[in-house]
Amino acid sequence: MAGLGMAGTAPEPGPTEPEPEPASTEPKPDAGAAEPLTVLSLPAQLIIAVGIAVAAVAAAIHLSAAFLAVSPPNTLTKRHGAAIDDYIYPEFERVWKLFAPNPLQQNIAVQARAEIRTREGGTATTGWRDLSAQDGAAIRHNPLPSHTQQNELRRAWEFYVGSHDAQERPQGMRGSLSEQYIRRIVMLRFGREEDGGAVERIQVRSATTPVAPPSWSDEKIDTKTIYRTLPWWTVTTDDIPEAKSR
């Protein structure tokens, strides 16, 4: 009986385990998260605010000048046209040849040569260097050619041609500016010294060759190359980009 009583007696419950606390739904602070600007010191906030304001003003001035440069004549362009041109040309000039009905049918190469002062005190003239061919070689097989390689020299020559007459006389301030631009580009390619001598004068020319018509066309075109040779220019300190940056 005792055995049966002991067997039928329910076991005493052991100590109960504490129930787990519900997980908190509040997000934990991320140690790597960026601190808000309000956490920065007052001088740091002022510096950031001034930087943003300067960038906004510069962007507004640039967009306004670019808009006025391509807009029809108005009161602002008539009163401040010279200042707008000084800012826009030649670096930010715009053209719309993408939408021209007739594509270019000529290959125009810009070439240059230099007159140097030799170490013995004499003078010598270098051969013509094809600057356009240099840009073409840099662009060929390059999936991401730079804007400078594609357009700097070409646009500079178009700028010159559009601001000079047949006698190579500059037409207004833009003509003189285009000459300075061409000289700086040439001197950037040549450098202060060429063929072991100091560059004293440079001369630029263009070689224009009409594109031959396709084989199936009956059109006849003379593909002879025509040269346009500019006068010699004496090199000054303003024509040397390295000297201007110092």
Quick one: which of 150, 245, 164 has its CA closest to 204?
A: 164
Amino acid code (one letter) for 61 = I
CB 237 within 8 A of CB 198: no
* Percent of the residues in the chain that have a pLDDT greater than 70, as a whole number: 78
What are the tens digits of pLDDT across the range 85-105? Answer: 888 877 777 666 555 555 668
Let me know whether 116 and 57 are in one domain. no
Mean local confidence (pLDDT), 195-200: 86
Let me know whether 83 and 141 are in one domain. no
Is 120 part of a structural domain of the chain? yes
Let me know whether 122 and 198 are in one domain. yes
CB 209 within 8 A of CB 104: no
The residue among 89, 124, 158 that closes a domain is 89
Is 164 part of a structural domain of the chain? yes
Instruction: Tell me which residue range forms the domain holding 148.
Output: 106-239
Neighbours of 151 (CB within 10 A): 14
**CA–CA distance, 155 with 64 (Å, rounded to integer):** 23
What are the tens digits of pLDDT across the range 180-196? Answer: 999 999 999 998 888 77
Is 23 part of a structural domain of the chain? no
Let me know whether 167 and 204 are in one domain. yes
CB 156 within 8 A of CB 134: no
Quick one: which of 132, 135, 151, 146 has its CA closest to 207?
A: 132
Residue whose pair of structure tokens reads 């304001």 in the numeric block:
53
The residue among 26, 54, 89 that closes a domain is 89
CB 53 within 8 A of CB 47: no
Is 157 part of a structural domain of the chain? yes
Number of domains in the chain: 2
Is 187 part of a structural domain of the chain? yes
pLDDT exceeds cutoff 80 at 67: yes
Let me know whether 168 and 209 are in one domain. yes
Let me know whether 132 and 214 are in one domain. yes
Is 2 part of a structural domain of the chain? no
Let me know whether 81 and 127 are in one domain. no
Least confident stretch, 24-33, 41-50, 120-129:
24-33
Q: Which structure tokens are listed for 181?
A: 């631009």
Let me know whether 134 and 212 are in one domain. yes
* Percent of the residues in the chain that have a pLDDT greater than 90, as a whole number: 41
Let me know whether 147 and 80 are in one domain. no
Is 176 part of a structural domain of the chain? yes
Let me know whether 84 and 160 are in one domain. no
- CA torsion sign for 137, 143, 149, 154 is positive
Mean local confidence (pLDDT), 131-142: 92
Let me know whether 130 and 232 are in one domain. yes
Let me know whether 113 and 225 are in one domain. yes
Is 97 part of a structural domain of the chain? no
Residue whose pair of structure tokens reads 């006389």 in the numeric block:
169
